Structure 1
Amino acid sequence: MNESFVTVCGNVVADPQSRTTKQGKVFASFRVASTTRRYDQGLGAFVDGSTNFVNVVGFNALGANVMGSLKKGDPVIVYGRLRVNQYQATDGTPRTSVEVDAHAVGHNLTRGLSALTRLGRPQGEPVDRLADPVITGSFDDDAAQPVDPGPDVADLEEALDGDPWATGSGTASSGELREEDADTDAYVVTPG
């Protein structure tokens, strides 16, 4: 299967919002405005080009961390799977939305300082999480809803059962890693 992954640099347009899918999964959604900058030799300065608006969705721990870390105006870098949706608005107007199923989100450190509070090891999901109608409609209320929400995925808690790093309760203290705490334990693998 071909998938497109993108990296988007820009600014958070509005405070992230926490939402829930029909299956009860919590996710965070926000928009990023990415404006190109080009050097104009005639002016002898950099000028702003066009602005692209990208809808971003973060699930599970990433979604929770987005909610606690980002706010309107923050410069961010988002990496994830690209999805372009074409639909008709309720008035019949054709529209297009660009969405990123985020795998990683962080502050753009070329624009300021940031500090990390380590919580645990992230886990991935091998499904099309953006196919859920609640997510598709979370950015535009008059978007046409997709028919197939995709396969149901086990709750994160079940996937992380018995993993001390999942809750941040690993045996290392004060940020100190011991050899027995090394990232060598088995990962949870879900069928894809």
Structure 2
Amino acid sequence: MPYLVGLTGPYTGQAFEVKDGRMTLGRGPGCDLVLDQDAAVSRAHAILETSGSIAQIQDAGSLHGVWVNGKQTAQAHLRLGDCLQVGASVFQLLLMPAPPDPPVRLKVILPQATGAPDAGGALDQPVSAWLECLCYLAALLLPIPFGFMIAFSYRKKAHPANRQLGTTCLIVSLLSTLLQVGISVLLVQSILRQLFPLAGPMGDFGF
């Protein structure tokens, strides 16, 4: 695929693809190759006709003319390696490979947990059956502090089953605490009645 590669002037280092057919070069916005950065280029400067490896340049009535390999010409054939000057810009006709297709970028989307991540930042696994029974037993017999510690710890887990375990342990711990407090009050009252059987409603112990 032939290209016009800028050698000097405002288009130095730039490459313009030369397609088969008729191309107009100039500063005018209607040109196929707009060279509006070069003030010495006419609005309609030249016409480039290409068919395969055959290219021909023709002056379109420009002010400063068309130059091929340092010689002004009204019409000339262009070969690979020839230099073309329009205005103050010099281009060289070169055969350059087509640019490779950009690499395909794949975006990987990782599944997100439905709940809050655990302390390790990863989705935890549900506890085994025996460990679940052990947690319930601790919440029932020792709600303070072990039952509540287990409850609040598992309620922060990511897996729904573990969060449900934490909620259940919290309920069991609350009920067990209330039950133990109630039993303790009854025991204290029973002990007081046995120690002070003659105590009246106003605290008179018979002295």
State the TM-score bracket (shorter-chain normalisation).
Answer: under 0.3
TM-score by length of 1: 0.20
TM-score by length of 2: 0.19
Task: Report which structure shows greater RCO (CA 8 Å, sep ≥6).
Answer: 1
